[in-house]
Chain A
């Protein structure tokens, strides 16, 4: 388990000492994070790194997970989709189940703390049973900029009872009578997905994945979903292939909660069928080392999303010193400073042009990769995330 001092080598100058100072007034404060899963997904990944760091700087930080039946999680999945803008049918009975399961969890889970951070919609209704003491914060990780209004207005009545809400992008903010804070998500530079790999380790993993390293390769890591535009990536690759002998690697898992995912994957496989330089990898959810090795070995990383939440795969690739070309969507736009840390594009042609440009200008590619890494070091590492939480708690403690 990593401690703050382990990050001295990777975080910006003075960060570790500054974080300790920021935590000084908060010594012994009880912080409780509650979410819906301990395994899988970005929230669990962040909490796994964040909780030990909060403890290391002197806070009494704990992490609890709500429990519920399969039916409950089916309901909250529908919630999640509706808040992200998909049309969903939620009956009164389903809403009642949601509230009841939250009530059961409120009776079971500890909720005596100075700061309670409740993540995402699943446990949001725990607020109904809040004790008098402690600040309650709703941390929303999903894109609720275009929610299905019926579901949002149901959830909103719980959200307004919190002391504050945190969103990942300014455009996710809502009209709410409580303070709303902006905190970007982050990556852990010491995790399996992002830690340094030796050349030997990297080569071994690539061999296992059957990815030859004889030519430069483009990489997109994302699930097979229309919003990630894998077919657009293949088209852009084909436009560049006329000028450069390259490979394309599309790596990702199937989206088990998306019935269209299988169709998208078969369309991608069909499109790539006659081209031995296109590699499609179906990776399990825990393939962190494999993703790490692919990102490190890639020449250019793509994230040509048409819609995106935050898109932390961009920061992951940038941390490995890679130039990234991303779709102009969601959090990609705050990670890629156009022409400095990467390029955002709005079309297949735009992506092809920038890939071609970078392959023709290796010195630009190297500089962009270096700048990208520094940009992530300062803005998207877990140390910055820890600092944001400490600043928020200090803000209330004044």
Chain B
């Protein structure tokens, strides 16, 4: 926790310009790690705060539609967020404020990598392991991988394409939009896609 908070949208804007990039990461990217089961009204904290605590649904919608994985760096994402808020405020006479709601509290986070010791060599093994691992594993190999690799593909798709030679399945997995769902739903959808391939093999 940075011990810094914003009560209105101007304060939010000023703080976003100044806080460390780890803080921008926490409030945009790590949302899914903190909400493994249920996604909030919008998939980033800035949008949710504007919509729920300030009751400014317009800014909530404008920030909510931002897909952080479309930006090449956290700095460019920060610039975009600042631009959206600046434009929004320039159209208003009064700065929206959290009168009844909670202030925005700035936080930052670090990812701690832990090797699970689990390895898959076949699609069947991959499916078995994916079904039982902690949801943070899915976060690491989908969301975190996109930022780490700088491309819109996670570790699962790349491995399935390159190591298992299943480009069609890899493509279907990479097409799943992680930004609009939760980690458990992603797990469920990947398992379903794997089952389809495995069932086809059994029928053959």
A residues with CB within 8 A of B: 12-15, 17-18, 21-22, 167, 170-171, 173-176, 180-182, 328, 333, 337-338, 340-341, 346, 371, 374-375, 377-378, 391, 394-395, 398
User: What residues of chain B lie closer than 8 Å to A391, measured between beta carbons?
Assistant: 112
Check A17–B134 contact: CB distance below 8 A: yes
| A171 in contact with B105 (CB, 8 Å) | yes
- Nearest-neighbour CB distance to chain B for A177, whole angstroms, equals 10
Interface locus among B33-41, B86-94, B162-170:
B33-41
Are B132 and A21 neighbours in the complex by a CB distance under 8 Å? no
Take A182-B1, A346-B100 as given contacts and tell me if A337 and B105 are in contact as well, using a CB distance cutoff of 8 Å. no
B13-21, B64-72, B113-121, B150-158 - the one binding chain A: B113-121
| A residues near B105, Cβ cutoff 8 Å | 170-171, 173
Of the candidates B3, B38, B110, B135, the one whose C-beta lies within 8 Å of that of A340 is B38
A-B contact pairs, 13 of them (CB 8 A): A12-B36, A12-B134, A12-B135, A13-B131, A22-B112, A22-B114, A170-B107, A171-B103, A173-B1, A374-B38, A377-B37, A378-B37, A394-B114
- Chain B residues contacting A338 (CB-CB under 8 Å) are 52
Q: Give the residues in chain B near A395, CB-CB below 8 Å.
A: 110, 112
Q: Is B5 an interface residue (CB 8 A)?
A: yes
Cα(A176)–Cα(B132), bound, Å: 41
CA distance A174 to B4 in the complex (A): 8
Instruction: For the complex formed, measure the closest distance between the CB of B55 and the CB atoms of chain A, giving whole angstroms.
Output: 12
Q: Distance (Å) between the CB of A397 and the closest chain B CB?
A: 10
Does B136 lie at the interface of the complex (its beta carbon under 8 Å from any beta carbon of A)?
Answer: yes
Which residues of B are found within 8 Å of A18, using beta-carbon distances? 114, 116, 133-134, 136-137
CB atoms of A378 and B36 under 8 A apart: yes
* Interface contact A15-B134, CB-CB below 8 Å: yes
B1 contact set on A, CB distance < 8 A: 167, 170, 173, 180-182
Count residues of B near A (Cβ-Cβ below 8 Å). 27
Please determine whether B38 and A394 come into contact, CB atoms closer than 8 angstroms: no
Whether A394 pairs with B112 at a CB distance below 8 angstroms is yes
Report how far A18 CA is from B136 CA in the complex, Å. Answer: 9
CB closest residue in chain B, given A182: B1
Please indicate which of the listed interface residues B37, B103, B132 has the most CB atoms of chain A within 10 Å of its own CB: B37
B3: contacting residue among A14, A173, A328, A394, CB under 8 A:
A173
Is the CB–CB distance between A171 and B5 below 8 Å? Answer: yes
Bound form: Cα–Cα A77–B37 in Å: 39
A319 to B1 alpha-carbon distance, docked (Å)? 28
Complex CA distance for A377 and B184, rounded to whole angstroms: 13
Beyond the given A13-B131, A13-B134, A171-B103, please list 6 additional residue pairs across the A-B interface where CB-CB is below 8 A. Answer: A13-B132, A17-B116, A18-B114, A173-B1, A182-B107, A375-B38
Indicate if the CB atoms of B37 and A14 lie closer than 8 Å. no
Residue of A nearest to B34 (CB): A379
- Nearest-neighbour CB distance to chain B for A210, whole angstroms, equals 38
A176 to B4, CA, bound (A): 10
Residues of A contacting B137 with CB < 8 Å? 14, 18
For residue B102, CB closer than 8 A to chain A, the reply is yes
Bound CA–CA A119/B176 (angstroms):
44
Give, as a whole number of angstroms, the nearest-CB distance from B170 to chain A: 24
Q: Could you say which of A21, A171, A375 contacts B37, with CB atoms under 8 Å apart?
A: A375
Contact residue among B3, B38, B134 (Cβ-Cβ distance under 8 Å from A176) = B3
Of B37, B131, B134, which one neighbours A374 at CB under 8 angstroms?
B37
CB proximity to A under 8 Å, residues B134-150: 134-137
Whole-angstrom CA separation of A170 from B116 in the bound complex: 31
Q: Is the CB of B114 within 8 A of A175?
A: no
Task: Provide the residues of chain B in CB contact with A398, threshold 8 Å.
Answer: 112
Min CB distance A25 to B, Å, is 9
In whole angstroms, how far apart are the Cα atoms of A391 and B34 in the complex?
14
Cα-based distance from A328 to B52 in the complex (angstroms): 12
Contacts A173-B3, A374-B37, A391-B112 known; A333 to B132 CB distance under 8 Å? no
Q: Tell whether A13 pairs with B135 under 8 Å between CB atoms, given A18-B116, A340-B38, A346-B100.
A: yes
Is B133 a contact of A14 with CB atoms below 8 Å?
yes
Q: Which residue of A lies closest to B138 (CB)?
A: A14
Q: A21 contacts which chain B residues (CB < 8 A)?
A: 114-117
**How far does the alpha carbon of A254 sit from the alpha carbon of B40 in the complex, in Å?**
37
**B132, A14: Cβ atoms closer than 8 Å:** yes
Beyond A181-B1, A333-B102, whether A371 also contacts B134 by CB under 8 A is no
Q: How far is the CA of A365 from the CA of B43 in the complex (A)?
A: 25
Chain B residues whose CB sits within 8 angstroms of the CB of A346 once the complex forms: 100
Bound Cα distance A174, B110 (Å): 20
Bound form: Cα–Cα A398–B114 in Å: 11
How many angstroms between the C-alpha atoms of A341 and B116 in the bound complex?
31
Contact A337 B38 (CB under 8 A): yes
Determine the chain A residues whose CB is within 8 A of the CB of B117 once the complex forms. Answer: 21
Assembled-state Cα–Cα distance A276/B76 (Å): 64
CB neighbours of A174 from chain B (8 A): 3
Within 8 A of A (CB), among B4-48: 5, 36-38, 40
Bound-complex Cα distance A391 to B136 (A) = 13
Q: Is the CB of B38 within 8 A of A371?
A: yes
Q: Report the Cα distance A338→B103, complex, angstroms.
A: 18
Most chain-A Cβ atoms within 10 A of its Cβ — which of B131, B133, B137?
B133
